[in-house]
Structure formats: C-alpha cells, structure tokens
Structure 1
Amino acid sequence: MYQPRRTSRSEFVPIRHLRYHVRVWGEPRPGQVPLVLVHGWMDVAASWQFMVDAFAQDRHVIAPDWRGYGLTETPVVDNYWFPDYLADLDWLLDHYAPGQAVDLAGHSMGGNIAMLYAGARPQRIRRLVNLEGFGMPATRPAQAPGRYARWMDELKALHRGELVLKTYDDADGVARRLMKTNRRLSADKAAWLARHWARQGADGRWQILGDPAHKITNAQLFRVDEVLELYRRITGPVLWVEASDDSLSQWWEGRFTLAEFHQRLAAVPDLRKAVVQDAGHMLHHDQPQALAAVVEPFLDG
C-alpha cells in the first residue's frame, strides 16, 4: 500500500451548523501563505495526499471534506445548492486565515468553486490554481421548465430509495472500482485511497463516503454570463492546469468543448496555462510529481 511522505492530521471545525472535517498538513510558517485545497465531486480531501507528498518543500496545507463528503457531517437536506460551497469556504478561511489572503487550488468541481469564490471574494485569494474545473455547458432559458421537472422527479426517486451509491464487500473491492474508473491509478495508491474514500458500515459492507443526494440535478440553470462576471473580478494570478486527455469532450460528447471553456478563461485578467502529459481528469492521482512541478513554482511566484 502507498506510504505517505507527509503525515496529515484531522481537525473538526464548526461551519454553518455542520461539523466540518479538515485534513491539515504541516504548520503555519512565518512568511508562507497557507495553501487551501478543495476536492471535486464524489471525492475527499485525502485525494490530495499524492500531490502534497510530491511538493519539494513542506507547506501548511488545509483541505476540507465538502459537506456531505468524507468525514464532514451530512446536512439534513435532499439536494445540494452550489452557493453553499462558496459560503462554507468563506467560513473555513475565516477560521484558518482570518484577515489573510491564501493560495487556493481546486480540482474539478472544487476548481469551479475556487474560480467563483475568487471572483466574489478577490481580496481573500493571493494565487489560484484550477485543475480541470470546467464548470458546466451553457444553458438557455427555454431549458428551465424541463430542468425543474427533472429536479422534482429525481427528488422523488431519492426518497423512494432509487438513487443509491453502490457498496462493496471489502476495501479491495473499492480499490478495484477506483482503478476501473481511472486506468492510470496504481494498485498501491488505489488501496490507500479506498480506505479514505469509503468505510465499513454496520452491515460489514464498505460504503462510499458521499451522500447520494449529490446525484440530484441542480434545479437552477448554469448561467455563463454570471460566471464570466465573476471571472473578470478575480484579481490574483490564476493557473489553469488541464490533463492531456480531453475528458471534457468525452463527458459531453460535443455539447461542451475544451475550446469553449478556453473562451471563457479569456475573461480572467491574469491567466497562465499548463498541460500535464499522460494524465486524465484525476491528474493529481495520475501524475502528482509532474503536477507539483507546475503548481509549486506558480505558488512561489
């Protein structure tokens, strides 16, 4: 099994009536800006371990499990609203870095959250790294009726017990699932991740540490015009990092392309770009050394 080079500790922080789990590496150091890492959909903070291990220097790293993921409490809700992630992040920064700008990096959904937050609170972010956080395809007002209907239908399916997450006989089964999803993930990393991505339930089966309600479609349309206004208000430098595999085109089958997302990025005032070779969407798992070699110099200016 993978052996971490840098040890993290678990802390629990009260955030908006929830007991938030935060994974912390290192200690605050004079003259060093804290690095906050936010994970993606159906992931956990422990996913950052490989990139943290690949950093050349020790850093004070703060990585929460989002609400309804990992060891953070699951709120009493049957669906999730995107602005809640921004507010949770705001509370988290108030706790760990009051009155101080931080470096922020996010992967996938976390990258999308990081970009929106940096536009809403530009003074809180010194430097920002977005790893494959594309956002969503553009929508049209005419889609609203169908979107609301789908949202209500999915809520009913959840309450009927039809939207569930698969369980596994053991941790090795979870590891095999991770390797099936990501063909580049090595067996030692998968075995380590499985024990953070899932846990054994009272029935003896291993359960994914994610609320099935995360699968509910957002009732609101994705407004690109709003997103671009937030992008324009980001004041710190932004590093966009994408994998050599074009996962975006694979997901959306032409309905949302990498070229379209690059057009959106043109709204960011201070943007740098990088590509990590031989990597897919989970590039922090696939090529942590190559990723660290791109991210760390950017953070250090």
Structure 2
Amino acid sequence: MYQALKPSRSTFVPIRHLDYHVLEWGTRREGESPLVLMHGWMDVSASWQFMVDALQRDRWIIAADWRGFGLTRNAAQAPDNYWFPDYFADLDGLLDHFSPGAPVDLVGHSMGANVVMFYAGIRPDRVQKLVNLEGFGLPQTRPAQAPERYGKWLDEIKLLHEGKMSLRAYDSLDGVARRLQKTNPRLAEDKARWLAQHWAARNDEGQWEILGDPAHKVVSAHLYQVEESLAVFRRITAPTLAVTASDDSLSSWWRGNYRMPEFLERMKAVPDLRHGQISDAGHMLHHDQPGALASMIEDFLYS
C-alpha cells in the first residue's frame, strides 16, 4: 500500500450547522495564509495526498471534505438535493476560520475548481492566486429546457426517497480499490488501496460504502448559465492558472455538446490567465502525475 510521506492532521470545524472535516499538512506559521485544496465530485480531501507529498516547499496546507462527501455528512438531517451556491458559503466560512485576515492560494479540482472559480469572482479580495484543475463548467443551456429540467429534478427526488439512487456497497476494500482503478486505469494499485480506505467506510452490515451522499446524484433544478459564469470570471483579480490533462475528458463526457475549445474560449474572460497541461494524464491528474502537477503549481505560486 502507498505510504504517505507527509502526515496529515484531521480536524472538524463548525461551518453552517455542519462539522466540516478538514485535513491539514505542514506547519502553521504566524501570519502565513494556507494553501487551500478543494476536491471534486464524489471525492474526498485525502485525494490530495499524492500531490501534497510531491510538493517541495514546506507550506501549511488545508483540504476539506465538501458537504455530503467524506466525513462532512449529517445522516440525521441529510438533504434530498444539493444547491451549488451552498459550496460558496461553505468555502467562505472555512476561509473565515483558517485565514480571516489574509487572502489564500486556492486550488480546486473538477467540481471543486468550478466552485473556487466562482468564489474568486464573488470574493476577489479573499484569493491571492487561483488554480483551476479541469474545472470545465457545463454545456450551454437554453431557457426552453427549463420545464423538462424541473420535471427531471422532481422525478429524481422521488427516486431518491424510494431508495433507487443509492450508491453501490462493496464487500471489501479491494472491491473499492478496483472500482477506483476502473474509473481511472492509470491509478496504481498501491494508490488505489490507500485511497479506498479514505473513500469508503464499513457499514453496519460489514460492507464498504462510498463516503458520498446519494443525493449528489440528483440533477440540479437550475440550468447552467454561461453568461452568468463569464460575468463572475471577469471579476477575478487573482492570477489564475488553468490546468488540463492530455486526455480530453471533456469532449468524451458530453459527446460533442461541449468541447475543449469552448472551455478555453470561456476562460478568456479571466483577466490574468495562464494555461498548463499535464502529459500522460486523465481527469484525475493529481493522481496520475502528482509530481509534474506539484511542480507546475509551485512554479506558478512562487514565481
């Protein structure tokens, strides 16, 4: 199994009626703001371990489990769907707790990258430097799609309450590790086994359940508004690094309805933008090439 080089410290922070689970690495120095890492959909904060191990600078780092993922969960009061702006408010609360008087360096992956991009435009004074790892947003929508979308949202909430949107449980951690490798064939076995113990937990029946609320599978009731996103991006003042992987996951996900050139065009709205690409990597680039990614991020943060 993979051996972590830099030990993490686990803590819980009260944020908006939730005990937010946070991992910390490195030494917290007086007056220093943290490097903040925010994971993607159906992932957890421990997912950053491989990249953190590859970073060369001794830096205070924090990574949180978003609401409904990892250990930031409230089974007694779990919602039946998730509202995207809640992530902005959660992040605002986390930064108020860990760095109330100074802007932070902020990194997000996938869904987490979409959140941090919006946050940096909503609260530009809170972000010193910004890194977007494969945070593409969603395809363009039309107002005419709204009735069907609302109907789908209602239908999926019913399915959730009927127990028809649950996440699969596994008989062993090996099963969880194999599931991770199926999603990402580049993920080495030692890393898959290490991640599995953070990505899942044993339930009362002895099976291993993914640490993600099934309600995350319910479609958003609201259509994605590209113009709204661009308006937010234009307000970002932090120097921004947008990193993509050599594998074009975006075009394959959306079957041609949303392609990489369209994402790159949207990113032109960010005032101070540079691009990077990680070779021999897919969407989980922080797992596939943690060393190359760590080097690229540090070159950006400290240049």
The verdict on a shared fold, with TM-score over 0.5 as the criterion, is: yes
In structure 2, what is the equivalent of residue 44 of structure 1?
Answer: 44
Match of 1:213 among 212, 215, 226: 215
Q: State the SS of the aligned residue for 2:114.
A: helix
Q: Distance in 2 between matches of 1:70 and 1:266?
A: 34
In structure 1, what is the equivalent of residue 63 of structure 2?
Answer: 63
In structure 1, what is the equivalent of residue 35 of structure 2?
Answer: 35
Q: Distance in 2 between matches of 1:128 and 1:298?
A: 9
1:16-53 CA-to-partner distances (Å, cap 9, x unmatched) read: 00011001111223564310000000000000000000
**1:179 partnered with 2:170:** no
1:127-161 CA-to-partner distances (Å, cap 9, x unmatched) read: 00000000111111000000000000000000111
Matches within 5 A, 1:155-166: 155-166=157-168
Q: With structure 1 as the length reference, what TM-score do the two structures score?
A: 0.99
Q: State the SS of the aligned residue for 2:81.
A: coil
Matches within 5 A, 1:1-301: 1-30=1-30, 32-74=32-74, 75-301=77-303
Kept after mapping to 1: 8 A contact 2:41/2:111: yes
What is the one-letter code of the residue matched to 1:238? Answer: T
1:238-262 CA-to-partner distances (Å, cap 9, x unmatched) read: 0000000000001001001100000
What is the one-letter code of the residue matched to 2:25? Answer: W
What is the one-letter code of the residue matched to 2:123? Answer: R
Q: State the SS of the aligned residue for 1:235.
A: coil
Identical residues among aligned pairs (%): 63
What is the one-letter code of the residue matched to 1:42? Answer: M
Q: Distance in 2 between matches of 1:89 and 1:212?
A: 22
For structure 1, list consecutive stretches of 5 or more residues without a partner in the other structure: none
Q: Distance in 2 between matches of 1:9 and 1:33?
A: 17
Q: Distance in 2 between matches of 1:3 and 1:188?
A: 9
Q: State the SS of the aligned residue for 2:276.
A: strand
What is the one-letter code of the residue matched to 1:196? Answer: H
Q: Distance in 2 between matches of 1:31 and 1:288?
A: 28
Q: State the SS of the aligned residue for 2:201.
A: strand
Shift of 1:76: 2.8
What is the one-letter code of the residue matched to 1:289? Answer: G
Q: Distance in 1 between matches of 2:115 and 2:143?
A: 23
What is the one-letter code of the residue matched to 2:285? Answer: L
Kept after mapping to 1: 8 A contact 2:33/2:99: no
Q: State the SS of the aligned residue for 1:272.
A: strand
Q: Distance in 1 between matches of 2:242 and 2:30?
A: 28
Root-mean-square deviation (CA), in Å? 0.9
Q: Distance in 2 between matches of 1:33 and 1:253?
A: 41
Q: State the SS of the aligned residue for 1:27.
A: coil
Q: Distance in 2 between matches of 1:285 and 1:14?
A: 29
Number of equivalences: 301
What is the one-letter code of the residue matched to 2:183? Answer: T
Q: Distance in 2 between matches of 1:99 and 1:76?
A: 32
Q: State the SS of the aligned residue for 1:63.
A: strand
Q: Distance in 2 between matches of 1:16 and 1:5?
A: 33
